[in-house]
């Protein structure tokens, strides 16, 4: 698949890149700057790696919906990566927006072993001790986050399975 350029876009008269197709920096920036963007959902970045073998270091959803599905409004998604060999930009297809979080959540950082992007509402556990026990079973670092209208306002590490090791890998 060729890189999708501004010239191709002008020729097509409407944006017609394929999901997973590389786009030029000017196409990426045009989409980014035409209106305030939305946050790229973490799940969309994971899907890009799985479906297109594209690791995404940064990205966004266009600020205006493209279409809709039974699950809600769909937005054009874009991602970027840079391996020190120059940045590459990609169209990632259509995406639902990231959920707006509100309240307390536990985050389990264990190499994507969990569903829900590793986030679980506080009410899904009896207390912090139960969340820590679950994290220990999966060798996951457990964080507790507080969100207000989508913005994280506090975070705390509750459990880190690797905290007992020093820099040389020896236990303390």
Q: pLDDT tens, position by position, for the chain (172 residues)?
A: 899 999 999 999 999 999 999 999 999 999 999 889 988 887 888 899 899 999 888 899 999 999 999 989 999 999 999 877 789 999 999 999 988 888 999 988 875 555 566 788 999 999 999 999 988 888 889 999 999 987 889 999 999 988 876 555 555 5
The 3-state DSSP class for residue 149 equals coil
Looking at the domain assignment, is residue 114 inside a domain?
A: yes
What is the C-alpha to C-alpha distance for residues 135 and 63, in angstroms, rounded to an integer? 36
Is the distance from CB of 105 to CB of 147 less than 8 angstroms?
A: yes
Q: Can you give the pTM of this predicted structure? A: 0.65
CA–CA dist 166, 160 (Å, integer): 13
How many domains does the structure of the chain reveal? 2
- 79 contacts 92 by C-beta, under 8 angstroms: yes
Is 167 part of a structural domain of the chain? no
Greatest extent of the chain over all pairs of C-alpha atoms, in Å: 64
Examine residue 120 and state whether it is found in any structural domain, yes or no: yes
What pLDDT is stored for residue 163 in this prediction? 81
- Amino acid 166: pLDDT: 56
The verdict on 62 and 131 lying in the same domain is: no
Co-location of 73 and 25 in the same domain:
yes
Confidence at residue 172, expressed as pLDDT on a 0 to 100 scale: 54
CA–CA separation, 136 vs 164, rounded Å?
Answer: 13
**Structure confidence at residue 123 (pLDDT):** 94
Among 95, 111, 136, where does a domain finish?
Answer: 95
Are 52 and 120 in the same domain? no
Last residue of a domain, one of 62, 95, 128: 95
Same structural domain, 145 and 74: no
Same domain flag for 64 and 86: yes
Domain that holds residue 141: 103-159
Q: What is the pLDDT of residue 9?
A: 95
Q: Is 167 helix (H, G, I), strand (E, B) or coil?
A: coil
The per-residue pLDDT for 115 is: 59
Four-CA torsion 138, 144, 146, 147, nearest 10 degrees: -20
């Amino acid at each position: 698949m060729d890189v999708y350029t501004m010239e191709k876009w002008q020729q097509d008269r409407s944006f017609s890149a394929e999901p997973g197709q590389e786009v030029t920096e000017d196409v990426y920036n045009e989409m980014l700057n035409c209106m305030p963007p939305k946050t790229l959902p973490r799940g969309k970045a994971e899907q890009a790696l799985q479906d297109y073998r594209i690791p995404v270091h940064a990205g966004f959803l266009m600020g205006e919906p493209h279409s809709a599905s039974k699950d809600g409004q769909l937005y054009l998604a874009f991602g970027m990566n840079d391996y020190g060999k120059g940045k590459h930009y990609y169209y990632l297809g259509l995406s639902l927006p990231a959920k707006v979080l509100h309240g307390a959540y536990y985050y389990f950082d264990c190499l994507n072993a969990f569903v829900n992007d590793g986030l679980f509402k506080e009410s899904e556990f009896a207390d912090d001790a139960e969340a820590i026990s679950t994290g220990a079973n999966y060798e996951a670092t457990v964080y507790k986050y507080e969100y207000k209208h989508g913005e994280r306002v506090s975070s705390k590490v509750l459990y880190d399975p690797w905290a007992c090791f020093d820099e040389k890998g020896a236990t303390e």
